Amino acid sequence: MNYLSTRGAGAGERHTFSEILLGGLAKDGGLYLPADYPRVTPDELTRWRTLPYADLAFEILSKFCDDIPADDLRALTRKTYTAATYCNVRDDESAAQITPLKTLGVEDGAPLSLLELSNGPTLAFKDMAMQLIGNLFEYALAKHGETLNILGATSGDTGSAAEYAMRGKKGIRVFMLSPHKKMSAFQTAQMYSLQDPNIFNLAVQGVFDDAQDIVKAVSNDHAFKAKYKIGTVNSINWARVVAQVVYYFKGYFAATKSNAERVSFTVPSGNFGNVCAGHIARMMGLPIEKLVVATNENDVLDEFFRTGIYRVRKAAETYHTSSPSMDISKASNFERFVYDLLGRDPARVLQLFRDVEEKGGFDLAASGDFARVREFGFVSGSSSHDTRVDTIRDVFQRYDTMIDTHTADGVKVAREHLQSGIPMIVLETAQPIKFGETIREALLREPERPAAFSGLESLPQRFEVVPADAQRVKDFIVANTGE
């Protein structure tokens, strides 16, 4: 399997899965994609239907990765997808399924269900891919006798998922910047209570953007970056996307009895990483009817799928909402879909994303390409705080099920795209306890708390407060890498 860049630099310059595993952007600023999407045969689909999650993950990953020996890859997926890791769920049987499907009911003739992706260590779907990345990174680094210092900025979900995936991993340290005193007590405790010596929490005196700017400044110091082996694990990482393909298959199998059936998925979206994996599953031949992109008030993607206009927002136009993990000004994985939409024409992708940088966006409304969006199954919708709260209340009253704010955005938008006879699967991206304030507002009660998290906020915390100054962060890295 060869990988190429969406912007086409060095045509003919191909890369393997392992080569792009630890990297981010391609050298030309594009994103990596496989040269061709592997197809699943009807026989494979039948055989995969009954596989445990870890073995399904092995089968799917094998199609994208031919430079890790099969036995090693299988051992990695089996080590990652265990009931013990995805145990924050109602019962053991659900934990064994890793991503259990929870049926809500039938609405407008369509069976409506939730695919639970947030039973992992940090209670958000990012664990699904990040846990695998932790094991893949450790494996790849050991093979070459290398080390890696992961530097990131987080406002919550991504940072904690990365820390829980990398804790205790050989050859890896994590330096995670978060805005001091700006995260919820629960999110802060999740990260800062980690005592592993390879995890460093840096509380930056500023807002999230200050933390993000420091990461950019340090990464732009190429000499420092090379000397201290600085890397990232952001949502454009290809292995993260491919790991997410697995649960679309798992969800399909859980919602259907035969491969003749089709299903639709609704995906609460921010950076387009999650739904990009759905697009790839569909390109592989999984019978997906619609991919519904659900956004919150930050509706960059909804606007595109309704109008053909992609218009990134300025920081001041980005709303802070009650589904904060979807608060984005531009969607970093979107370029992968645009590449396919334009018939894989790297010169046009390069031009369009130059327009994004120079003019703030592009307009495909008038081009024939936009019409093809529907051929790819895409539709969209958005939500607001009020519809979010109403949906949390409605799902609780009607189905006795508590959902988080992001999943509520998904259910709200899913209901606008139901088709009789076609199961609609909403991806559940986080558990309610992570966004307790809105749960209290909607339901006038406390969110459910998985047993493993009782007393989390009173555990001792380990973190370092630093000023919003890149040099101070560099000094900290130097002092803690022993080099």
Ligand X SMILES: *Cc1c(COP(=O)(O)O)cnc(C)c1O
Residues that bind ligand X (CB under 6 A): 124, 126, 157, 235, 268-274, 325-326, 406, 429-430
Q: Which is nearer to ligand X, 246 or 430 (CB)?
A: 430
In the complex with ligand X, the residue whose CB is nearer, 266 or 271, is 271
- Alpha-carbon distances of 321 from 326, 411, 422, rounded to whole Å: 8, 17, 31
Nearer Cβ to ligand X (259/274)? 274
Distance CA(232)–CA(193), nearest Å, equals: 22
Residues listed for the chain = 483
CA-closest candidate to residue 112, choices 2, 340, 266, 259 = 266
Strands 199-205 and 172-179: parallel
3-state SS assignment for residue 107: strand
Nearer to ligand X, 104 or 328 (CB): 328
Q: Which helix (H) or strand (E) holds 238?
A: helix 238-255
> Closest Cα to residue 124, out of 428, 475, 425, 477?
428
Nearer to ligand X, 138 or 404 (CB): 404
User: Nearest distance from residue 298's CB to ligand X, in Å?
Assistant: 11
What is the three-class DSSP state of 46? helix
How far apart CA 123 and CA 130 sit, in angstroms, is 12
Instruction: Report in angstroms how near the CB of residue 238 gets to ligand X at its nearest.
Output: 13
Alpha-carbon span 377 to 341, nearest angstrom: 11
The structure tokens 């987080």 sit at: 154
Task: Output helix, strand, coil percentages for the chain, rounded to the nearest 5.
Answer: 45, 15, 35
Instruction: Give the SS3 label for residue 177.
Output: strand
For residue 24, the tally of other CB atoms under 10 A from its CB is 15
Report which residue type is found at 27.
K
Residue of 63, 126, 434, 474 marked catalytic: 126
In the complex, minimum distance from the CB of residue 227 to ligand X, in angstroms, rounded to a whole number = 31
Which is closer to ligand X, CB of 110 or CB of 300? Answer: 300
Select 6 or 407, whichever has its Cβ closest to ligand X. Answer: 407
Q: How far is the CB of 450 from ligand X (least distance, A)?
A: 15
* Structure letter (DSSP) for residue 360: S
- Judged by CB, which is closer to ligand X: 149, or 383? 383
CB of 331 to ligand X, least distance (A): 7
C-alpha to C-alpha distance for 281 and 101, rounded to whole angstroms: 18
CA distance 481 to 483: 5
| Residue 280 and residue 33 in contact, taking contact as beta carbons nearer than 8 Å | no
Question: Closest approach of Cβ 60 to ligand X, in Å?
Answer: 18
- Rounded least distance, CB 343 to ligand X, Å: 24
Q: How many CB atoms lie within 10 A of CB 39?
A: 10
Alpha helices (H) along 66-207 = 70-80, 92-96, 126-144, 157-166, 185-192
Q: What whole-number distance in Å separates Cα of residue 232 and Cα of residue 174? A: 9
Token pair listed for 252: 């399909």
Residue 330 annotated among the catalytic residues of the structure: no
Find the shortest distance in angstroms from Cβ 45 to ligand X.
25
Distance separating alpha carbons of residues 433 and 447, to the nearest angstrom:
5
Active site residues: 126
